[in-house]
Structures are given as structure tokens and as C-alpha cells.
Amino acid sequence: MFMTKISVTRRDFIGKTAAGIVGVAVSSNASSMSAVSYSRIIGSNDRINIGFLGCGDRSSDHQSMVKTSSKEKNLAVVAVCDIWKNNKEKAAANCKKLFGTDVQQFKYSEDMLKMPELDAVMIGTGDFQHAKLLAEVVEAGKDCYCEKPMAIDVEDAKLARNAVLASSQVVQLGSQWVSDPIQLKVRDIIRSGRLGQITKIDQVWNDNEPRWHVPNDPDVAAIREEDTDWKRWLLGKPYVPFDPWKYFEFRIFRDYSGGITSQWVSHGAGLVHFYTDTAIPDSMVANGGIFGWPDIRQNPDTFQALATYDDAKFLYSYSTNFASRFGDYSCIHGKEGTLFAHGGEGSSCWFFISEHQNLPGGFDFYEGMKEMIKRGKAEIVSTEEYGMKPGPVNTNDNMPYHLNNWINCMRNRDVVPNGNIHTGFWHSIASIMATQAYREGKKLYWDRTKEEILDHPVII
């Protein structure tokens, strides 16, 4: 069963590195399944009925993703749920357009989750809402695709993980790059040992716009408090008066997101864990500020973090600037070779360069790559899906690979999704450490035994 296998590997879930993380008792006995979990056990050929929870922009992408795979994977949509009636009605109309079917509309998730024909839910709500809603979905006996970050505080991350491990549900976290064939190929190269000892990983992912703030946002102008449920939206956060800017632009406000850390470091650290078979940094420092876009935002627009992974013995450097797009890249440095990707988050344009070639320290990588490949000093990293050519620098967030991986695991419940609940816990803690290190101006540490963030080294 899925419950049994998720407590073991991806490489035994990192073996010793994951000690203290996978410490939640999970029964392999079918009696641990709730009665509702038995209400609809998906067979290999059954149609899978999906509902969308939170119907903003990302949910529109979810709907398009399902449409792309609906025929091949035998998928249907049966429900949409959003506490703002405009989003709910817009999502229902879009589902009618895409799938030619009328879906049921719900304001509250608990009502949608009572549908006996509903098999799975895709969550596209605010960052701080993900964990509690994920727990609610799996406790209702539904499989779940939940956007990242899984959580923005440690207790919510534990809540979601514990709920999933106490269920028999198949959960995929929306860190979609871990199902991209080229990212899988990058991991295979690292696992092969061709890079030798890895000592540093760099990610520089930039943009040049007031990211996540739209001064003339039509939704902000359109919404009225009576058309939604503000207290429900807060979902346990301290009460403040209704604020449409916070409602739609939660990513730039401290109470509801870390911004760059929650949105992008979650992806970045998740890829680092994926490539290197590690789990959660041992230490973290961070700095930055609001330099490029001094608007209503509370979270930084310029940010850098440094983390260590002590057992694996490497440094992880993450940097983002929202006032210049130049210089996006990822680089994995090994003693015997280097993997380099042009472009920012999700870039599939990867190359392998072996060490000990006497290359000049100031070598112009961008201009000289074709010549290096021609001379056999560098290799393109690619797969059949990309025609064995360099992948695109800018990849589509809605590629089918990650959704299809989730669907395949729903049908074969002995297989763990690429973005399983443990990977979600790991990327959450990494991004939470980065947020907290920036806000507190401290070097922070992760205690793997107590599962706590500390401001002093762990005493063993």
C-alpha cells in the first residue's frame, strides 16, 4: 500500500540524513484507513473526478493542466470551490468551456469534500492556507495535488505531514520541476558520481517587475467583503479588518507569505534536495530588503540566502533580484565536473563540463559553449522528450509531467509521487528557515531530532 512505501525510500528517504524527519508512526494495516477512504477506491481504468479548491490564477492553470491530460488519463472535473463568488463562477464557466460539462459550485471546502463521486482535489489557495486545507482534504478521504509552499510555519508543516501519513491518500506537492525529464536526468548524473564531491550549489533566479503587486488589479477593485468570507480567508491568522490587497496579493505581506522565500526558495531548495538526496539545511543565513519596488509590499524584492548541508558537505547559495533579469543560472559544482543551466527557475537548458581541462578562470561560458561542445569539453544534458537537444531556458509551469506523475500514482498506489509529502515538508522547512533568518537577522539551525529551528548550533 501507498502508506507503507512512503515511509521508506527515495533512497530510504535519504537514510541517515532524514533521521528525525520520517519519525511519524504510520500503520501499514488497512484498518488505519478511515471509512471514507473506502468510499471510492480508484481502479486502473476508472475515471478520476477532480475538484478545484481556490479558483484564482493558479487554479486556472490547474484546469488547463487537467484538460491537457484528460483524454489520455481519463480525467473529469466535477466541482469548483472558492469563497469569492466571482472566482467560483469564473472557474465554473472555464470548466464548462474546457470540458463541456457543468460542475457543482461550492463556497466552502467541507461541502465540496462531502461529494461521494469526488476522487481528488487540486489546491490553489494562498500560501498560508495550503497546509490546513491539505490536511482537511486527506482527512476527507480524497487524494490531493497541493501547490507549494506546503506551509509557511513549522507547526502547519507538521500538521499537514501528520495528516497525510495518517491517511492512505496520494499527495503531490506542486513543485513541478521534479517531474521534468531533464531535471531527472540531472539527478541521474549526480547520482552516477560524475561530478565527484559536490561542494557548492548556486541558484540565481531574477525578474524585473513589481512582482506580485498589480497597482490597478481589477480583482481588488471588484471584490466586496459581503461577497466573500474574510474570517474564513484568514484561516486562523489574527483578525485584521478586510483588506482586498492582502486578499489577492498575500505574497507581499509578512503574515501570509515569505514572498521570495515561500514562492521561489521552496522551488530552489526542493530541487537541491531532489538532485542531491538531502533533506532540510543544517544552517541558514539570509539578507536583503525592499530596494527596487518600494510600494505596499512588506516582503523583500531583493534577497539572498546561504545554507549548509553538513553531512553532504556542501554550501547552497540562493539569490533573487526583482529589479534586473540579467544573469539567471543554476550551477552545481563538483570536484570532477560541473552542471550548469542557463536561465532561472525550471530552466531545462543544462550542460555538463568536466574538470581538469585547464579552462581559463574567466572563460566566457555563454559565448564559448558551442565551441566547448564541438571540442568535446562540454556535453548537452537532454532527453528524448526534448529531442536530445538543449531544453528551453523558459519552461512552462503547466507541463504535463508532474500532474501525470500524480495521476499514475493514484492508479498504482504502491508508487510514491515525485513531490510526495516528505519533499513538501523538507522544502517548507528550508523556506521557513530562510524567511526567519532574514527577518531575525540571525544564523539559524535545524534540530533534526526535535524538529525545531534554533538560533544556536544543535548540541549533540
Q: Quick one: cell of 256?
A: 501570509
Lowest mean pLDDT among 6-15, 234-243, 391-400, 411-420: 6-15
Q: Please indicate, yes or no, if residue 316 is contained in any of the structural domains.
A: yes
Q: Are residues 304 and 408 in the same domain?
A: no
Torsion, CA 102, CA 106, CA 112, CA 117, rounded to 10: -10
pLDDT of the residue at 22? 34
Grouping H, G, I as helix, E, B as strand and the rest as coil, residue 288 is strand
pLDDT tens digit sequence for 104-149: 999 999 999 999 999 999 999 999 999 999 999 999 999 999 999 9
Question: Domain containing 93: what range?
Answer: 48-178+403-419
Grouping H, G, I as helix, E, B as strand and the rest as coil, residue 49 is strand
Q: Are residues 381 and 278 in the same domain?
A: yes
pLDDT tens digit sequence for 267-293: 999 999 999 999 999 999 999 999 999
Q: Please indicate, yes or no, if residue 388 is contained in any of the structural domains.
A: yes
pLDDT of 21 > 90? The answer is no
* Band of residue 297 on the pLDDT scale cut at 50, 70, 90: very high
Distances in whole angstroms, Cα of residue 213 to Cα of each of 7, 210, 245, 387: 40, 6, 9, 38
pLDDT of 168 > 50? The answer is yes
Q: Which residue has the higher pLDDT, 371 or 179?
A: 179
Q: Are residues 200 and 337 in the same domain?
A: yes
Q: Are residues 256 and 172 in the same domain?
A: no
Q: Are residues 67 and 92 in the same domain?
A: yes
Q: Are residues 135 and 193 in the same domain?
A: no
Q: Quick one: cell of 152?
A: 509557511
Q: Are residues 189 and 91 in the same domain?
A: no
pLDDT tens digit sequence for 43-90: 666 899 999 999 999 999 999 999 999 999 999 999 999 999 999 999
pLDDT of 13 > 60? The answer is no
Give the whole-angstrom CA distance, residue 137 versus residue 171.
10
Give the whole-angstrom CA distance, residue 155 versus residue 150.
12
Q: Are 228 and 84 in contact (CB under 8 A)?
A: yes
pLDDT of the residue at 372? 78
Q: Please indicate, yes or no, if residue 145 is contained in any of the structural domains.
A: yes
Cβ neighbours of 330 (radius 10 Å): 26
pLDDT of the residue at 399? 94
Q: In 3D, which of 287, 327, 290, 312 has the Cα closest to residue 202?
A: 327
Give the whole-angstrom CA distance, residue 267 versus residue 261.
9
pLDDT tens digit sequence for 301-340: 999 999 999 999 999 999 999 999 998 999 999 999 999 9
Residue type at 54 in one-letter notation: G
Q: Are residues 355 and 383 in the same domain?
A: yes
pLDDT of the residue at 382? 95
Q: Please indicate, yes or no, if residue 36 is contained in any of the structural domains.
A: no
Q: In 3D, which of 346, 292, 348, 345 has the Cα closest to residue 319?
A: 345
Number of domains in the chain: 2
pLDDT of the residue at 357? 84
pLDDT of 437 > 60? The answer is yes
Q: Quick one: cell of 334?
A: 563538483
Grouping H, G, I as helix, E, B as strand and the rest as coil, residue 22 is coil
CATH of the domain at 263: 3.30.360.10
* Band of residue 26 on the pLDDT scale cut at 50, 70, 90: very low
Q: Please indicate, yes or no, if residue 27 is contained in any of the structural domains.
A: no
Q: Please indicate, yes or no, if residue 19 is contained in any of the structural domains.
A: no
- Mean pLDDT, range 206-233, rounded to an integer: 97
Q: Are 383 and 179 in contact (CB under 8 A)?
A: no
CATH of the domain at 57: 3.40.50.720
pLDDT of the residue at 349? 94
Q: Are residues 204 and 145 in the same domain?
A: no
Q: Considering the entire predicted model, what is its pTM?
A: 0.91
Give the whole-angstrom CA distance, residue 156 versus residue 145.
17
pLDDT of the residue at 359? 74
Q: Please indicate, yes or no, if residue 199 is contained in any of the structural domains.
A: yes
Q: Are 166 and 2 in contact (CB under 8 A)?
A: no
pLDDT of the residue at 364? 61
Q: Are residues 201 and 342 in the same domain?
A: yes
Q: In what order do the strands lie in the sheet with 143-146?
A: 104-106, 75-81, 48-53, 120-123, 143-146, 171-173
Q: Please indicate, yes or no, if residue 40 is contained in any of the structural domains.
A: no
- Mean pLDDT, range 388-415, rounded to an integer: 95
Q: Are residues 129 and 185 in the same domain?
A: no
Q: Are residues 164 and 204 in the same domain?
A: no
* Band of residue 374 on the pLDDT scale cut at 50, 70, 90: confident
pLDDT of the residue at 43? 65
